[in-house]
Structure 1
Amino acid sequence: MSFDFDPIVGWPLLFLSLLVITLAGFLPIYFHAKKGVSIQRTVLKSLFLIGFLLSFGLILLRPYTYLDPEKDQVLVFEEGLKDSEIELWKDSLQFKKAVSIQEFEPTGEKIFLLGRHFTKEELYALKGQNFEWVLPQSHGELADISWKGYLRKGEIQRTGFEIFSSSDTSTISLQIPDFKPVKIEKGWNQILLEFPSRGQGRSEIPLLLDQDTITTIRYFVGPSKPKNYHFQLGFPGAESRNLANWLREKGERVSEEIRLSRETFLSSGNSDSLQVRIIDPSQLEQKEIQNWVKEGKGALVIIQVSKPEETAKRLNQLFGTDFQVSNSGSESGRVLKNGMNALPFAFEEKPNQKLLAESSIAIQNSTGSAIAMSLLETSFPLLLQGKEEDYESVWGTLFGLLEPDEFSSWRLDRPVLSGIPNEIQVFDKDSLPSHLIFETDTIGLKKSLINPFLASLTWSGETNSWISLSSEMEFAIYAYSDFELPTLHSRFWINELKANSISNQERPKSPISPWFGLIGMLLFLGLLWLEPKWK
């Protein structure tokens, strides 16, 4: 156990005060000794004075001791938590003390906070305390979850979350057609689900653990806006022609350019404002394309690859990517599960890349642009066989991941929580509004100092339902109550409490009661008063 001091006044003033009182006390003793008072009485009076000075110094210095976090620990649990859950954690961590958060009184111990649902008012008792948050390990417990609150029709929705399972045979699924359940392991699992957005307007998709609904994923699907795709090939084949026609049928703007030589080319459509450029390896040496990618003007897709190792190496040299392919051991090519044909090569997994179609397509962001390389030889036969869903599951996912910039859109990456400040971003290259109207609330927009086309607003309504936005860009959000997503609400308040509590980083300490000093002062003052009356 170690001691430290927190003086009630500054050190210079404290020493000066003690010096003055010491002189004022010892001078009378000195003069009494000069008058012939016995040495025994002089020593006794000096001891009483020293005791008084020490007691007075105890009050001025305010000493305290540091607590041992390993010995002084307390389990603070959520009101209404099951007794079995409390006992499990109390026994496993060997806590001697466990109290509910409503009965907790701060005493300086290291705190373990157990539970999923805490209000802002309950957590105020932990202000300035050193604590760690522990979630109950119950089946279906969500630690965190996120998804996009706004998508264009046909874009890929991504839902990432952490969930606990008490079984090693459970599965996670979404209540949408043809979604294949994902098997999860016993314990905590990190899950990422990807699926195309369907329909338009408000969308609600239940998230299921086995057959039970954990929560409902709600987001808004805006109308699809045509993107600009430009095919620039040395020689177009059936694969590129069918891909271009498929994009046109989806409502996208498609232009084509056949570059026979440096000076000779054929083109169709308008190639202004390019967002996605689809080329074959022969076009990589075009300076125009190289500069376009390096300036981050759009996404690049390389198809009709015949020598994958050489193409991957050249891409790495030009744009700093890290594509690497390995031979699958077959000379005749690969047939994927969906029926597509690919070269007898596969991309090796890299931490900064996304692989699709059984490692036949790789995507990497570089120099501000997304670059994708495809090893597919033929995929268009699926369209001829009526398997458009399988075809779209590959190419639709690829173009959804590339996500070219739009002229106007909403950006919302997390669920909106009622009663908590939520940031919503608005992107518009034409003109940003000065304010937006949520039902009856008018909220001003704050423009970004870095991006002139980006603005944000903070909304913290108390409702727990769909909220329509009055704007030229149709949009609605759903606000989740603390009963629908209790963990996310608790996480926000806990993070805010820790961010505003400087003492969280300090060692826990226990002050020595000032009553010891006060009682000591009164005791020794009394003895000094009584000493002359003793015979």
Structure 2
Amino acid sequence: MISFHFDRSDPLNWLILALVAILVIVQVWLTVRNESLTAQRKTVRLVLNVLLSLILLGYVLQPTWTRSTNSTHALLAGNEVPDTFRQKISDSLNLREVITPRTFNGDRFDSVTLVGQDFSPELLSRLSRQAVRWVPYHTPDQVQAIHWKGIVQKGEMQQVSGTIQSAKKQRIKLMYARQTLDSVDVPEGLSPFTLQFPAFTLGRTETELVLNQTTLDTIRFFVRPMKPLAYQFILGTPDFESKTLADWLGKNGNSVQITATLSKDVSNRLTINRASAKPDVIITDPSNAANAVVKRAVADGKAVLFINLTNPEADCRLINQALGSRLQVRKVSNEPLLPVVDGLNALPYALSPVPIQTDIPGYPVAIQQTTGKIGVSLLNETFPLKLSGDSLAYNRVWSAILARLQPSSINSAEIDAPVFAGVRAEIRVNNLPKRPPTARLSNDTVALTYSPINALSAEGRFVESRTGWFPILDSLATYVDGNSFPTIAKSQLVRAYTEAHATDQTGRIIAAWQTENRLPNWAWLLLFVACLTSLWVEPKLGS
């Protein structure tokens, strides 16, 4: 159907129509009155003049026509997507039309496949009428996904895991003050990676994620201090391992009580700092598993760590019988000792996994949760690290082990990082004795939803538009990224939009779309030039 865009209320349009009509009449009259022209030339000239008038009339009236088409699907590619990848996706989906954010017209399509991540929120908001699918594009040597703990306790193992599109086999590592905390080789292509290290700082901490010699970005997290605890050593005989560990605990602000049996009915007691009446953690050897103090501590929900094992199979059976644990070991080598890390050696055994058991990453140490916490270390000796001057390695080992023996902290919070500005994030709060309805985040509050299973645990969701460090629960903090990991930030934004617009296409009725078409201005210009040229050439051909 053809229609015209003619404004009848505009006098100028009527004037133009009148001039066109006069032009047609004058041209026809002059051509007919010209006696020097043959009948054939008069016909040609009349046709050309009428055609020119019709072109002028068409340009003024601007005729348009509509065309009914079935629903259409287009591929919308981000600016960062190369042509080869764009064409590959287009061919695989059998899509004839590929558009860019600059040329996108939402009225023409009822479904869109997004390729890449570089889409502005304004563009995504224009996709509310379309069904949306998303195909991410992995930029070479860029992190595509990453995750770490936004808040950790000192000594707790911080784990950074993600995926990277590597252009070749190379090494990715975490660095702090030019020191490598952990590293791993990634092969060519899209590859997952996991880096981990025990948190050894306090407060706001920044580490760098480095690929070969190129810094990819900064990993920011908050380290909360370990609460000073009361430790009690129950020893058969004094030894360097226990004495060195007790001194280290005392220097870190903990109260320590050492009880050693020198002979029958003769014992020695040494106190470092001021010890409380009841210990929070007992450190002993398997021969004291049936000790009344040890059994009472487990029954009260406290933690017990067994060190100085000599025969792990027999020692674990003894501990299981006395405390009801389910420790299991298996021999993995005939060597007397096996190297671990940081110059450490361990007994040639491995702890078998059990559902109630938590292994310390990187070390042959496991913690089982029964009424209390029961830990077993297969490490041979750690005090040589201290004697050799490698205090950092010694701190790293024992901070990682003892962090798992800590009792639950009051008002502890967990946040999955990275947290991006403008993207919804989640906070989990544990051990809330007063059950507040909200948690404080900077100057705002977050509504908490309590778990039906654990009445002291809750979670809340928030969106922060500002960037930087923000306090949480008075003593903690989290970092909101604005410019870090731009690819991941854009991916999260696109993922949020696609999930919001995801619809089930099964059984959907395909609607008819009406598209309006008109002749472009360049076509009108071409017609004018062609017609005027013909009128100019025609007299010369007849002369």
Q: Same fold (TM over 0.5)?
A: yes
Q: What residue number does 2:307 align with? A: 303
In the alignment, which of 278, 285, 288 is matched to residue 290 of structure 2? Answer: 285
User: Alignment RMSD, CA only?
Assistant: 4.2
CA distance in 2: counterparts of 1:131 and 1:313, whole angstroms: 59
Q: What residue number does 1:244 align with? A: 246
Q: Aligned-pair distance for 1:79?
A: 4.3
CA distance in 2: counterparts of 1:488 and 1:368, whole angstroms: 43
Q: Percent identity?
A: 25
Cα separation, partners in 2 of 1:459 and 1:337, compared to 1, 3 Å:
closer
CA distance in 2: counterparts of 1:263 and 1:113, whole angstroms: 79
Q: Is 1:386 aligned with 2:389?
A: yes
Whether the 8 Å CA contact 1:117–1:487 is kept in 2: the answer is no
TM-score normalised per structure 1: 0.67
Q: In the TM superposition, what are the counterparts of 1:129-528 in structure 2 within 5 Å?
A: 132-179=133-180, 180-258=182-260, 270=275, 274-286=279-291, 289=294, 293=298, 297-313=301-317, 319=324, 321=326, 323-330=328-335, 332-334=336-338, 338-347=342-351, 354=359, 361-367=364-370, 371-427=374-430, 441-443=443-445, 446=448, 448=450, 451=454, 453-454=456-457, 458-468=461-471, 473-481=474-482, 484-488=485-489, 490-491=491-492, 494-495=495-496, 497-498=498-499, 504-507=503-506, 509-511=508-510, 513=512
Cα separation, partners in 2 of 1:74 and 1:435, compared to 1, 3 Å:
closer
Cα separation, partners in 2 of 1:99 and 1:514, compared to 1, 3 Å:
closer
Cα separation, partners in 2 of 1:95 and 1:366, compared to 1, 3 Å:
farther
Q: Aligned-pair distance for 1:237?
A: 2.3
CA distance in 1: counterparts of 2:140 and 2:179, whole angstroms: 25
Whether the 8 Å CA contact 2:286–2:319 is kept in 1: the answer is no
Cα separation, partners in 2 of 1:458 and 1:349, compared to 1, 3 Å:
closer
Q: Secondary structure at the match of 2:417?
A: coil
Structure 1 unmatched ranges of 5 or more: 1-64, 516-535
Q: Aligned-pair distance for 1:206?
A: 2.2
Deviation string, structure 1 residues 114-159 (Cα, Å, up to 9, x no partner): 2134455544455586655332122233332222223344544322
Q: Aligned-pair distance for 1:426?
A: 4.6
Shifted more, 449-458 versus 236-245: the winner is: 449-458
Q: What residue number does 1:77 align with? A: 77
Q: Aligned-pair distance for 1:303?
A: 0.8
Cα separation, partners in 2 of 1:404 and 1:512, compared to 1, 3 Å:
same
Whether the 8 Å CA contact 2:80–2:118 is kept in 1: the answer is no
Q: Aligned-pair distance for 1:221?
A: 3.3
Deviation string, structure 1 residues 76-123 (Cα, Å, up to 9, x no partner): 3224533243234335666544334644568566x6432134455544
Q: Aligned-pair distance for 1:271?
A: 5.4
1:306 maps to amino acid: T
Q: Aligned-pair distance for 1:409?
A: 3.3
1:375 maps to amino acid: L
CA distance in 1: counterparts of 2:277 and 2:476, whole angstroms: 29
1:377 maps to amino acid: N
Whether the 8 Å CA contact 2:74–2:109 is kept in 1: the answer is no
Number of equivalent positions: 436
Cα separation, partners in 2 of 1:192 and 1:337, compared to 1, 3 Å:
closer
Q: Secondary structure at the match of 1:304?
A: coil
CA distance in 2: counterparts of 1:75 and 1:158, whole angstroms: 37
CA distance in 1: counterparts of 2:123 and 2:304, whole angstroms: 52
CA distance in 1: counterparts of 2:278 and 2:108, whole angstroms: 62
2:391 maps to amino acid: E
2:143 maps to amino acid: L
Q: Secondary structure at the match of 1:310?
A: helix
Cα separation, partners in 2 of 1:264 and 1:93, compared to 1, 3 Å:
farther
Whether the 8 Å CA contact 1:144–1:488 is kept in 2: the answer is no
Q: What residue number does 1:89 align with? A: 89
